[in-house]
Chain A
Amino acid sequence: MTQQVAPPVQGGLNPPSVEASRTPALEVRNLRKTFRDRRSEVHVLDDLALQVQPGEFVSIIGPSGSGKSTLFHIIGGLTAPDSGSVFMDGRDVTGKKGLIAYMPQQPALFPWRTVEDNVLLPEELRGTQKAVARANARRWMERAGLAGFEKAYPHTLSGGMQQRAAFLRALMSPQEVMCLDEPFSALDALTRSDMQRWLLDIWEETRRSVLMITHHIEEALLLSDSIYILSARPGAILKRIEVPFPRPRREEILLDPSFITLKTEISAMMREEQQERGQ
């Protein structure tokens, strides 16, 4: 793993505060979605709304099956919502495809492409010169600990490495807003914390707008400017939390008493939510 020294760029900046006057990079309003087939109806999203400011890192935490992946499919234009809309930079883009950099929950790497060719796919789709794309891919693969696997085929990689490749593919997508669907779920605890630190460095350097789904409260607190807690199905926003820790963040904040308090609060809230549904 790259042992990065704290990048000097934008050192000590506070998270971009949410001012009403700014146009969010991504906003969804009043999303509702029900999947119907002949036999059953699944009410997945219920009046969901959230915002991601430009350069803001936002996480969504919610029980599984609460419609998080469906939300990303709606944002990406793949699934039509029953009602509600998606806005990017103030424009209504509901149903439009190709506007987000996306990392799916399953890596969905193409087995006939080498890892490198998978990573540069989004640039290839944009018509970027192959040589340029390849150089970019190489550079990022090295930083993600995938050096030496450029010419390997995905099925020869561990689940964790596949996820890193899928993450790089999203990172190399030219779109400004990144949507990451449980990016580190297949990683063991150690690699996971490595990757979190790595993502923190990369993100504090590049400051893209990120919307990330996770189950991991600590991960969300470490990385995010704000966190949305999602209810069980049908998914609706239970609470929005602003994470107060200054940037650049170091891992030491995991031990900070206020960090621990916040973490306990969130996990209590989620446990309560799950118990309520269980009855």
Chain B
Amino acid sequence: MRSWWSSVWPPVVAVLFFLLVWQAAVSIFDIEKFILPAPTAIGSEAVTGAAGLFQHTLATLQLTLIGFIIGTTIGLVISLALHMVPFLKTALYPLLILSQNVPTIALAPLLMIWFGFGMLPKVIVITLVCFFPVAIAALDGLARTDRTMMNYMQMAGATSWQIFTKLELPHALPSIFSGIRIAATYSVMGAVIGEWIGSDRGIGYYMMLQKSGYRTDRVFVAILVIVLLSLLMVLLITLLEKRLIRWNRKS
């Protein structure tokens, strides 16, 4: 408990100090509210506007989860296919890497044209940003299977299915989870950007609305909500990881 506290208080103090400087700067230099609202102003807006934000937050969370689950699943399926068929891997792996030079977000307007303003184009955007980190991390983890353990399994006469389920997959699990964790934060970002470009609800939509009204304080509240959503996603993944990976890795 004591050590937990000793690692928590320094960053907390740092954040409080930062907010204090912010607050002081805003009042000393008399900064306009629409340029930079004070932390207290943002705080009170968060309290009074919370009810109106709830529906938007829920909409974004739903979109994020759907996109994240589809994107992660596709990432896992791609990595398994490429891992099991070496020819596919040599053919597609370079293309997979190259594909990341296309800024996925830039495709969003195109997707809107093709698929309208509903859920589908946004889910596609999230899927596109999510599958890659998962696929690469999973492929990497599967390719790094420990040599001596692999030799043991082969010499013990294990079938390739046994080798996959009892060695390669558990061995790759920590790596897969590091990819999924990245996908989790990406999925929130993808959802918000999708909502910016065309939507009638969600945090991204709310941000755009408040931006055009110069309600900077509300934009800040929206950013706060997005940060909390990201943290929530990472927390969920970490809990799942803790459940699935009980053994402690030394490294």
Contact = CB atoms under 8 A, between A and B. Distances in A.
Given A110-B170, A153-B248, A98 B156 contact: yes
Given A104-B148, A106-B148, A111 B247 contact: yes
A155 B250 contact: yes
B155 A102 contact: yes
A110 B154 contact: no
Contact of B156 (A102, A106, A111, A112): A102
A76 B155 CA distance: 5
A104 B155 CA distance: 10
B162 interface: yes
Interface in A195-227: none
Given A112-B245, A112-B247, A98 B148 contact: no
A197 B247 CA distance: 33
B25 interface: no
A77 B170 CA distance: 25
A78 B155 contact: yes
A75 to B, nearest CB: 9
B148 to A, nearest CB: 4
Nearest to B153: A125
Contacts of B247: 111-113, 153, 155
Contacts of B148: 104, 106, 108
A227 B148 CA distance: 27
A84 B157 CA distance: 22
Interface string B161-174: 01000110011010
Give the residue among B157, B166, B167, B250 with the most A Cβ atoms within 10 A.
Answer: B157
Contacts of A108: 146, 148-149, 151-152
B167 A110 contact: yes
A97 to B, nearest CB: 5
Nearest to A173: B156
A157 B157 CA distance: 27
Contact of B249 (A77, A97, A111): A111
B157 A98 contact: yes
B158 interface: yes
A99 interface: yes
Contact of B151 (A73, A99, A111): A73
Interface size range on B against A: 20 to 34
Given A111-B249, A112-B247, A155-B248, A125 B157 contact: yes
Contacts of B249: 111
A100 interface: yes
A106 B152 CA distance: 10
A122 interface: yes
Interface in A130-184: 153, 155, 173
Contact of A97 (B157, B173, B248): B157
Interface in A50-95: 73, 76-78
Contact of B170 (A97, A112, A121, A155): A112
Given A108-B146, A155-B250, A122 B156 contact: yes
Give the residue among B154, B155, B245, B249 with the most A Cβ atoms within 10 A.
Answer: B155
A113 B166 CA distance: 10
B158 A125 contact: yes
A113 B245 CA distance: 10
B159 to A, nearest CB: 8
A108 B155 CA distance: 13
Contacts of B248: 153, 155
A112 B167 CA distance: 9
A174 to B, nearest CB: 10
A124 B166 CA distance: 10
A159 to B, nearest CB: 13
Contacts of B167: 110
B151 A104 contact: yes
Given A153-B247, A153-B248, A155-B250, A125 B156 contact: yes
A110 B248 CA distance: 12
Nearest to A122: B156
Nearest to A107: B148
9 contacts: A78-B151, A98-B155, A99-B157, A108-B151, A110-B149, A111-B249, A122-B156, A155-B248, A155-B250
Given A77-B154, A78-B154, A102-B155, 14 more contacts: A73-B155, A77-B155, A97-B155, A98-B157, A100-B155, A108-B148, A108-B151, A110-B149, A111-B249, A112-B171, A112-B246, A122-B156, A153-B247, A155-B250
Interface of B: 146, 148-149, 151-152, 154-158, 162, 166-167, 170-171, 173, 245-250
Interface of A: 73, 76-78, 97-100, 102, 104, 106, 108, 110-113, 121-122, 124-125, 153, 155, 173
Nearest 3 A-B pairs (CB), nearest first? Answer: A98-B157, A76-B155, A108-B148
